[in-house]
Amino acid sequence: MSTLAIVEAFRDLPDTRREAGRRHELALCLALFTLAVSAGCRGFLAMGDWLNSYRDELVEWFAPPKNRLPSYSTIRRALLKLDYAAYSDPI
């Protein structure tokens, strides 16, 4: 897993998702969300398109387990349960 600063910034946030089926760290999901929004994505489908467009580069930089990035729906589910005050602190 990546030790990039953007991932590390979110590493200490509590993950409120249920443990069963959790494949991606919350920190990775939030880092990718932050980058996608910074790139101009304004919706989950746009974010999914962005993830697919830059998949190879993102896999190289973030080194996710099994070289799999979270889908936009995984990021969406993580965001639905997110404490936004805690998310904004590292930013």
Encode the chain (91 residues) as per-residue pLDDT tens digits: 567 899 999 999 988 888 887 888 999 999 999 999 999 999 889 999 999 999 999 999 999 989 999 988 888 888 888 888 888 888 7
Task: Give the Cα-Cα-Cα angle 41, 47, 52 (nearest 5 degrees).
Answer: 125
Domain containing 4 equals 1-11+51-91
Residue 41, in any domain of the structure: no
- CA–CA distances in Å: residue 31 to residues 11, 27, 72, 79: 10, 6, 13, 12
Total domain count for the chain?
A: 1
Half-sphere exposure of 19 (CA within 13 A, CB side): 0
User: How many whole angstroms separate alpha carbon 66 and alpha carbon 72?
Assistant: 17
Q: What pTM, to 2 d.p., does this model score?
A: 0.87
Residue 63, in any domain of the structure: yes
User: How many whole angstroms separate alpha carbon 1 and alpha carbon 43?
Assistant: 26
Structure tokens at 55: 């998949």
